[in-house]
Amino acid sequence: MAAPRAGDLAAARWVPREGVDPAALAALLERAAAALATEGAVRKASRRKTLHAIALGDGVDHLLKANDYRDAPLLRRLRRSRSARELARASAAAARGVPTPVPVAAGELRRRGLLERCFLLVPLVPGAVDLERLRAERAHAPRERRACERALGALARRMHDAGVFQEDFAPNNFLWRADPPPRLWAIDFERVRLRAPLSRAARTLLLARLERRLADASGAARMRFLLAYADEDRAAARRWWLEVEARAPRLARRDRRRWQRTATHPSRRFAPMERAGWRGWARRDADPAALAGVLDGERVGEAAFLVRWLGRLSRRRAARAWGLAQMLWQRGGASPKPLALLRSSRGAALVFERPSGCQRLDTLADRRRLEPQLAIALDRLLRLGARPEALTADRLGAAAQGGRIWLLDPLVVSPGRRPPVEVHRRARECAARLAGTG
């Protein structure tokens, strides 16, 4: 999407949030337009949306969301914009007691009544970072991590009691700031519906959606979150745990279908690939020549890739493996990032981006210190429908430093399969077998 011009901000019709003076908003937009014309840095871009960091003071202190509707269907361009809806919903959620940085104003640029662009000016929370990035960095102290888990549980409960149903209930939509006092905010109300206090079924669905993105969290971390959600009622927290676990297989089955459909069709993220006798699908940010080269035995760039051979697969079976790999990567990094799944007369190969320090588990001489991390990883894989007997050392990757575990063969997972009886005990037994202590 082409970035908006500075003049687009002035031409748009702006609606300020309650309490913002129109004269002050005009001055703010003038400064935002000047910043956009000179140094508006693009933080994120997709097919329709760009996110710009705007410096209105001495440093970056606002974000500008811009959506482009010029190639949208006609009826969509006649309706209210996403920005106007997000401003209204964020304001309503804040009025219901949900902590959120409410946008300053929403703007719509129309030509002959048809929506061309919309804008949302959002204040930046100084020193805050979203939970997705916080977890990826893995540098925060245990005390901060525990405080964040409790704060997330309490905020999720407050949102659900206030009737906030957030379709994208995920870690990247929460901001955390540790420096005193520690605080957590909910953000991105673009896909929010406001209701009366949510039903138990709706709460279970949202908690299951959040848990799938935090699947590598320990049992103690999940219990801290649920205790805060249940207002420190341990019996209620255990009931929530069981209900969320029961919902996970159905959610995984739906996610697998969605990712298989998405990843095997051309889009801004995925594309069909045919090169040097290989045919399949790849992510658009991957280098086709390097992928084909590493599969043909070339050692250039080999350290950047991790290859899992899957034998001869039909096109349908290969599409299933590709969709499963995407799903597992999205679920808290249960697999490394899948770059391509390619087939030739030699068989099918799944190529991953190699995580730092990752080796196949069966190549590590001393696995004993990895046993606790193995138990956590195998527990979530069994709950996703993995067969216990198929979780062998050659199908798993591990980083000795940091204790990360990844599944390299997605076909051992059958979403929707009922987990084995006493799944947590079975996970610990599998971990002991793989670590050589059982």
- The per-residue pLDDT for range 51-64, each reduced to its tens digit, is 888 876 666 688 88
What CA–CA distances, in Å, run from 345 to 123, 247, 280? Answer: 55, 40, 13
- The per-residue pLDDT for range 288-345, each reduced to its tens digit, is 888 888 887 755 455 789 999 999 999 999 999 999 999 999 887 889 999 999 999 8
pLDDT at 376: 87
Residue 146: how many other CB atoms lie within 10 Å: 13
**Higher-pLDDT residue of 90, 42:** 90
What's the predicted TM-score (pTM) here?
0.83
Spatial CB neighbours of 363, under 8 Å, sequence gap ≥ 6: none
pLDDT at 133: 85
pLDDT at 313: 94
What CA–CA distances, in Å, run from 112 to 22, 72, 82, 116, 319? Answer: 25, 15, 19, 10, 45
Question: Which structure tokens are listed for 275?
Answer: 């090169």
**Residue whose pair of structure tokens reads 């590598």 in the numeric block:** 216
110 has pLDDT over 90: yes
Local confidence band at 409 (pLDDT 50, 70, 90 cut-offs)? very high
Q: Per-residue DSSP letters for 184-242?
A: EEE---TTEEE-SS--HHHHHHHHHHHHHHTTTS-HHHHHHHHHHHTTT-HHHHHHHHH
Peptide bond into 372 cis (omega under 30): no
Local confidence band at 270 (pLDDT 50, 70, 90 cut-offs)? very high
Q: What is the C-alpha to C-alpha distance for residues 59 and 25, in angstroms, rounded to an integer? A: 19
1 has pLDDT over 60: no
pLDDT at 187: 93
Instruction: Identify any residues that bridge with 306 across adjacent strands, giving them in sequence order.
Output: 352
**E strand segments, 230-375:** 270-275, 278-283, 305-311, 338-344, 347-353, 358-360
**Residue whose pair of structure tokens reads 């009622």 in the numeric block:** 233
* Phi/psi at 347 (5° precision): 130, -170
Local confidence band at 40 (pLDDT 50, 70, 90 cut-offs)? low
**Higher-pLDDT residue of 47, 123:** 123
Nearest to 130 by CA among 61, 184, 83, 55: 184
Q: What is the C-alpha to C-alpha distance for residues 147 and 152, in angstroms, rounded to an integer? A: 9
Distance between terminal CA atoms of the chain?
Answer: 55
pLDDT at 132: 86
Strand 278-283 with 338-344, pairing: antiparallel
Instruction: Give the whole-number percent of the chain exceeding pLDDT 70.
Output: 94
The answer to whether 143 touches 45, Cβ cutoff 8 Å, is no
Nearest to 396 by CA among 350, 359, 356: 359
Return mean pLDDT, the chain.
88
Local confidence band at 3 (pLDDT 50, 70, 90 cut-offs)? low
pLDDT at 114: 93
**E strand segments, 284-328:** 305-311
pLDDT at 350: 95
pLDDT at 438: 66
pLDDT at 239: 96
30 has pLDDT over 80: yes
pLDDT at 238: 96
Question: Which structure tokens are listed for 224?
Answer: 């801290």
pLDDT at 298: 58
Residue 173: how many other CB atoms lie within 10 Å: 20
* Burial call 238-261: b when 16+ CB within 10 Å, e when fewer: eebbebbeebbbebbbebbeebbe
* Burial call 82-108: b when 16+ CB within 10 Å, e when fewer: bbbbbbbbbbbbbeeebebbbbbbbbb
Local confidence band at 101 (pLDDT 50, 70, 90 cut-offs)? very high
Instruction: Give the whole-number percent of the chain exceeding pLDDT 90.
Output: 53
Local confidence band at 404 (pLDDT 50, 70, 90 cut-offs)? confident
The three-state secondary structure class of 269 is coil
- The per-residue pLDDT for range 7-17, each reduced to its tens digit, is 888 889 999 99
**Higher-pLDDT residue of 299, 425:** 425
Nearest to 134 by CA among 46, 250, 214: 214
pLDDT at 153: 96
- The least confident of 43-47, 157-161, 230-234, 288-292 is 43-47
- The per-residue pLDDT for range 170-195, each reduced to its tens digit, is 999 999 998 878 899 999 998 899 98
Nearest to 407 by CA among 310, 329, 340, 349: 329
Spatial CB neighbours of 144, under 8 Å, sequence gap ≥ 6: 178, 182
The answer to whether 414 touches 256, Cβ cutoff 8 Å, is no
Mean pLDDT over 90-104 rounds to: 94
Local confidence band at 2 (pLDDT 50, 70, 90 cut-offs)? low
Spatial CB neighbours of 387, under 8 Å, sequence gap ≥ 6: 412, 414, 417
Mean pLDDT over 377-403 rounds to: 88
Mean pLDDT over 121-136 rounds to: 87
